[in-house]
């Protein structure tokens, strides 16, 4: 990422961009190009709303955590007719509820956060996509999925599950610095964008497509990040994508088991846990803001005391990127020490 920066239309740069494609596509389970967008995840999340909902049509936002709740809020800010399909934080969206909502009225777009980073819940994406194909008025209802915390951490099959958008910021499971999003969209989504007026330029899916097929970006991208991404895709290839999934699963279950032994429990029900992090509820009335502060002062660890409405009620331990169970041990050890000093 520190090397000299070439022009973004140069052959040298387009070759680096092209080299990332096979792994990026494989991680999403698609043969479509994977766009690189210079923004954080929210840039592309908003772009889905602006590209895929026709005037006079509606969007259904599946809400079960901080990020999915906000996607609904952003839809409203864009002036869209938006309905929230809500379940309590910590619960997954169920196929039954989605089916009911789709039978009640027509939606141009459904938004879903695959892995809710705020609660550690993994939504049953394949089943939900199936419901949309059965009840979403054939090819009319599109499905846009935020895979920010699951991309590269868990298997994804965009094409065979029939998902229309998958997007992920680089700073989560890919563990690169922030500032870029990888995003694939289906042919159907591309067609839809063509029917939506006033898409602007910088976030226009048709512009992304036009450039991506030439291994280019619509304007000057975050070039050092693309070099970082090329490094990461090479590393993923070397490790093996399936080995990477297994390592994330092993790390996650390692922490889940540690938690069980020490009186903490996962916020997500079993079978619906994200493999790239643990969202853990403390044994009793521990305020996790205090716990995390003590962990920082006494042991120099910085961990998260819960996000949004759950601040102070849980901790979140990530095992994104290239972490191994051995690297988690010193943290878990110090958390045990802290619990001995200040028992619940």
Binding residues for ligand PLP, rule: CB under 6 A, are 40-42, 67, 113, 117, 146, 148-149, 169, 172, 178
Q: In angstroms, give the least distance from the CB of 71 to ligand PLP.
A: 8
Q: In angstroms, give the least distance from the CB of 266 to ligand PLP.
A: 17
Q: In angstroms, give the least distance from the CB of 176 to ligand PLP.
A: 11
Q: In angstroms, give the least distance from the CB of 21 to ligand PLP.
A: 22
Using the minimum distance from each CB to ligand PLP, give the nearer residue, 29 or 178: 178
Intra-chain end-to-end CA distance of the chain, in Å: 45
Length of the chain as a residue count: 344
SS3 110: strand
Using the minimum distance from each CB to ligand PLP, give the nearer residue, 53 or 180: 180
Which stretches of the chain are DSSP H helices? 11-28, 41-52, 66-77, 95-104, 125-135, 158-161, 187-195, 205-212, 223-239, 241-261, 288-299, 325-341
Q: In angstroms, give the least distance from the CB of 116 to ligand PLP.
A: 6
Q: In angstroms, give the least distance from the CB of 118 to ligand PLP.
A: 7
Contact in structure between 320 and 154 (CB atoms under 8 Å)? no
Using the minimum distance from each CB to ligand PLP, give the nearer residue, 101 or 153: 153
- Give residue for tokens 């036009």: 210
Using the minimum distance from each CB to ligand PLP, give the nearer residue, 218 or 277: 277
Q: What are the beta bridge partners of residue 37?
A: 181
What is the distance between the alpha carbons of residues 37 and 153, in angstroms, rounded to a whole number?
21
Q: In angstroms, give the least distance from the CB of 172 to ligand PLP.
A: 6
Using the minimum distance from each CB to ligand PLP, give the nearer residue, 41 or 319: 41
- Angle in degrees, 0-180, between the axes of helices 95-104 and 125-135, rounded to the nearest 10: 20
**Rounded (5°) CA angle 70-75-80:** 160
Q: How far is CA 342 from the centre of its chain?
A: 35
Q: 107-138 burial, b for 16+ CB within 10 Å, e for fewer? A: bbbbbbbbbbbbbbbbbbbeebbbbbeebbee
Using the minimum distance from each CB to ligand PLP, give the nearer residue, 67 or 89: 67
Using the minimum distance from each CB to ligand PLP, give the nearer residue, 57 or 123: 123
């Amino acid at each position: 990422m520190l090397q000299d920066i070439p022009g973004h239309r140069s052959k040298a740069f387009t070759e680096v961009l092209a080299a990332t494609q096979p792994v990026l596509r494989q991680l999403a389970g698609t043969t479509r190009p994977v766009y690189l967008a210079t923004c954080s995840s929210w840039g592309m999340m908003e772009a889905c709303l602006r590209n895929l909902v026709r005037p006079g049509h509606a969007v259904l936002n599946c809400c079960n955590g901080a990020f999915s709740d906000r996607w609904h809020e952003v839809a409203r800010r864009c002036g869209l007719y938006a309905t929230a399909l809500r379940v309590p934080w910590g619960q997954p969206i169920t196929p039954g509820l989605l089916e009911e909502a789709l039978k009640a009225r027509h939606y141009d777009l459904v938004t879903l956060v695959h892995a809710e980073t705020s609660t550690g819940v993994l939504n049953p994406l394949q089943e939900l996509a199936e419901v949309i194909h059965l009840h979403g008025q054939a090819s009319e209802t599109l499905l846009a999925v935020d895979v920010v915390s699951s991309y590269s951490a868990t298997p994804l099959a965009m094409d065979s599950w029939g998902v229309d958008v998958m997007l992920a910021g680089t700073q989560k499971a890919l563990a690169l610095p922030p500032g870029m999003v990888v995003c694939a969209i289906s042919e159907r989504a591309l067609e839809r964008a063509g029917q939506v007026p006033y898409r602007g330029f910088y976030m226009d899916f048709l512009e992304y497509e036009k450039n991506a097929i030439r291994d280019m970006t619509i304007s000057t991208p975050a070039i050092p990040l693309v070099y970082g991404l090329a490094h990461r895709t090479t590393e993923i290839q070397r490790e093996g994508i399936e080995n990477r999934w297994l390592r994330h699963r092993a790390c996650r279950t390692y922490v889940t088991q540690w938690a069980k032994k020490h009186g903490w429990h996962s916020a997500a029900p079993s079978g619906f846990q994200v493999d790239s992090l643990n969202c853990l509820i403390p044994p009793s009335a521990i305020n996790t803001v205090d716990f995390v502060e003590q962990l920082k002062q006494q042991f120099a660890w910085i961990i998260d005391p819960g996000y949004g409405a759950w601040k102070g009620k849980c901790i979140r331990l990530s095992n994104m990127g290239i972490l191994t169970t051995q690297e988690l041990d010193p943290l878990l050890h110090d958390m045990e020490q802290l619990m001995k000093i200040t028992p619940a």
